[in-house]
A and B are shown apart, each in its own frame.
Chain A
Amino acid sequence: MATSLRSLLRSGKNAVFLVARRGFQRSAPAGVQVTVRDALNQAMDEELERDERVFLMGEEVAQYDGAYKVSRGLWKKYGDKRIIDTPISEMGFAGIAVGAAMAGLRPICEFMTFNFSMQAIDQVINSAAKTYYMSAGLQPVPIVFRGPNGASAGVAAQHSQCFAAWYAHCPGLKVVSPWNSEDAKGLLKSAIRDDNPVVFLENELMYGVPFEMSEDSQSKDFTIPIGKAKIERQGNHVTLVSHSRFVGHCLDAAAVLAKEGIECEVINLRTIRPMDVESIETSVMKTNHLVTVEGGWPQFGVGAEICARVMEGSAFNFLDAPVTRVTGVDIPMPYAKILEDHSLPQVKDIIFSVKKTLNV
């Protein structure tokens, strides 16, 4: 409770989505408020119930209820066999999880943050991602690696890195990056049901943020397809493409720009790999302007990939200006608040970039 409240306060900048949090009920009427944390919890709960082969493994996931309380209540409900606390041994337990997936189980391997996944990255790439290919289709690896990714608040350089580009670079992996609660629930369920290794990038600052969830999303069979982006806001003048927390920033910027008569189309990527380039191209062919927004570093990043794909495809000729990338600053994350604030895209950076792109 305290943790989610703190997260809520920290993400207070997203004033649009800061509403009083009410308790979540299972079979609730349409339009109930659910935090991202609870949505993830529901997804795992439902999938654990649905398929015996699914289990969760990671540091503090069981008796502690999860370092960020995402797995709250699951150990109590499912016990030691299905919810496993590991020692602090990322390389080891990631490998163990992959091995279990190879032998018929469907593990959810939690990294306390994706910063710690770097210790285990060999298992993710070499053991999980490449195996189906190397075995010519004999050996699938149905595993989900999940955890918070990217910057938090004041956690400094070693705890703030975004790994979207790193993992999305590799064939054999699917990389998913939800923004709101519906994304979180629908995509996690899809990821768990997917027979392939999925890297599921959550965001710590989003855990405590409540969103309205549709009636459909209350169903135990509600899933969102991996590989399909969503248009969060329609617009004619410029396309904003983003993923995770910065989708919210884009919507905030769009609201401000609308007052000046600039209508932004905001695309929530939802999946980084495979990327829904088609949705981006369709939008660009309508708006003729593209701005990408991400929290990660610029070089070789998600925005860079979008630029390349748009340039290589049919939408290129529809661009009236070069694509603009809004990214994190190309430095390790500093600790001091003023420095940290200026190391990540702010709403005003997006507004500035849109205007520059539109030459207004």
Chain B
Amino acid sequence: FGKMLTSITNVLRASAVVMSARTYADFTSQATFEIKKCDLHKLEEGPATQVVMTRDEGLQYYRVMQTMRRMELKADQLYKQKIIRGFCHLYDGQCYIEPNACAVGIEASINLTDHLITAYRAHGYTYTRGGTVKEIMAELTGRRGGIAKGKGGSMHMYCKHFYGGNGIVGAQVPLGAGVALACKYQGNNELCVCLYGDGAANQGQIFETYNMAALWKLPVIFICENNRYGMGTSVERAAASTDYYKRGEFIPGLRVDGMDVLCVREAARFAADHCRSGKGPILMELQTYRYHGHSMSDPGVSYRTREEIQEVRSKSDPISMLKDRLLSNNMASVEELKEIDVEVRKEIEDAAQYATTDPEPPLEELCNHIFSNNPPLEVRGTNPWAKLKSVS
């Protein structure tokens, strides 16, 4: 009685079920999992390695990850059809393997009242922070129903307590610390999760930010999503030290398996506790992988091999990992997960339909939103006779 199910033949690296509570209901309501230990920097102890995931949590993570993946794949399709223009930095490669797990794991450990900021690979985070698939996709297609009314595009999506979507590599890091400063200043016990990539990790402004965040004990969780490539440059060619979790030097750090949603969640919980207890900033490095190229214009195979990509895809996919855990612990059925897949697919299709049929923003709104809380002003158009109107 209470023995684990035998269908675990496909191996997930460090996840073995220790015990499960059987009920008379169809499914196990929760199970305990052993997860990978984190590498620590300036920390005596790290996050728990035995963690509990409930059935409800598991199903929710699954749904969110599938939604993000499908959304990014749909964006990929629309970009190839030229319905999405400009840059399209998909979170799928990242989300696919890690960021997918990253965004979900992080959001599972903080509150919606906390704050989050990231760089330009932001579609997934916009979703986990509260944006709907519809408004995200309509933003990508540049329509009036987009989350930024079509004015921002892929790289500039915002919602409550989510500060984008930032196009300039590294700039979001001081911004994140600033948000944390405001939290401390206002004494609201909120914190800021501030994400950047391995490429951005070599930006000077990040080190300036580390210094001030540590000096002033700001409640900020710096998270480096290390997907091993900064556009076309591998980490070895860009960084003298690739131990990104140590580069905060005097800031304690964790190196986390970013492919495993439970690892990310535990680490983020640990980090959040650290911040909220007034200890100041903490740094997490999430080891992830980017399936696709840097952006849609990069096939992603000129600087790495297809074999490498395939290997990561087959061995470490976070959605597969989660699925296996749920199924092998009788926490969900194949049919149930399939049903979620069908629902997700429909949601994405509906959103894509909306995103391709919603009208473009009206020209009358071209000049709006220059200033906040300001009387209407006149804006010069392309020639001196074009006097356009701008309201806040």
Interface residues of A (CB under 8 A from B): 2-3, 6, 59-60, 63-64, 67, 85, 87-89, 91-92, 115-116, 118-119, 152-159, 298, 324-332, 334-339, 342-346, 349, 352-353, 356
Contact = CB atoms under 8 A, between A and B. Distances in A.
B383 A156 contact: no
Contacts of A335: 85-86, 139, 142, 148, 150-154, 156
B214 interface: no
Given A159-B87, A324-B383, A346-B382, A338 B232 contact: no
A336 B297 contact: no
The residue in A2, A85, A115, A331 that gathers the most chain B C-beta atoms within 10 A of its C-beta is: A331
Interface in B129-165: 139, 142-143, 146, 148, 150-156
Given A156-B167, A327-B383, A334-B151, 11 more contacts: A60-B231, A60-B232, A63-B232, A64-B303, A88-B230, A157-B156, A158-B167, A334-B150, A335-B142, A336-B153, A339-B361
Contacts of A119: 168, 205
Contacts of A2: 297
A325 to B, nearest CB: 7
A339 B233 contact: no
A330 B155 CA distance: 21
Please list the 4 inter-chain residue pairs (A to B) with the smallest Cβ-Cβ separation, ordered nearest first: A154-B86, A335-B153, A154-B85, A336-B142
A330 B379 contact: yes
B384 interface: yes
A152 B366 CA distance: 18
A91 B239 CA distance: 16
A64 to B, nearest CB: 4
B309 interface: no
Interface stretch (B180-188, B195-203, B262-270): B195-203
Contacts of A154: 85-87, 142, 153
B366 A343 contact: yes
Nearest to A348: B382
A156 B366 contact: no
A326 B382 CA distance: 5
Contact of A329 (B85, B238, B379): B379
A115 B169 CA distance: 11
A255 B263 CA distance: 64
B383 A353 contact: yes
Nearest to B235: A87
B119 to A, nearest CB: 11
B388 interface: yes
B1 interface: no
Contacts of B169: 88, 116
Chain B: number of interface residues, binned into ranges = 35 or more
Contacts of B199: 87-88
B379 A331 contact: yes
13 contacts: A59-B231, A60-B232, A67-B231, A85-B238, A88-B230, A116-B169, A329-B379, A329-B381, A329-B386, A331-B379, A334-B151, A337-B142, A338-B142
B51 interface: no
B150 A336 contact: yes
Contact of B203 (A67, A88, A155): A88
Contacts of B152: 156-157, 335
The residue in A3, A59, A152 that gathers the most chain B C-beta atoms within 10 A of its C-beta is: A59
B382 A336 contact: no
B233 A64 contact: yes
A63 B233 contact: yes
Contacts of A337: 85, 142, 360
The residue in A88, A115, A337, A356 that gathers the most chain B C-beta atoms within 10 A of its C-beta is: A88
Contact of A349 (B85, B202, B382): B382
B124 interface: no
A158 B119 CA distance: 12
A60 B384 CA distance: 41
A217 to B, nearest CB: 30
B170 interface: yes
A351 to B, nearest CB: 11
Interface in B201-229: 202-205
Contacts of B390: 331
A154 B153 CA distance: 8
Contact of B380 (A156, A327, A334): A327
A353 B230 CA distance: 45
Contact of B155 (A3, A158, A298, A345): A158
B312 interface: no
A85 B167 CA distance: 21
B366 A329 contact: yes
B235 to A, nearest CB: 10
A325 B168 CA distance: 31
A334 B370 CA distance: 11
B302 interface: yes
A115 B76 CA distance: 26
A109 B136 CA distance: 37
A156 B232 contact: no
Contacts of A118: 168
A331 B200 contact: no
B88 to A, nearest CB: 9
Contacts of A59: 231, 233
Nearest to A65: B302
A202 B85 CA distance: 21
A229 to B, nearest CB: 22
A331 B233 contact: no
B150 A329 contact: no
A165 B171 CA distance: 24
Contacts of B142: 154, 335-339
B24 interface: no
A89 B202 contact: yes
A64 B143 contact: no
Given A329-B388, A331-B379, A87 B230 contact: yes
A88 B202 contact: yes
B361 A87 contact: no
Contact of A336 (B238, B361, B379): B361
A112 B139 CA distance: 25
A62 to B, nearest CB: 9
Contacts of B367: 329-331
A313 B367 CA distance: 35
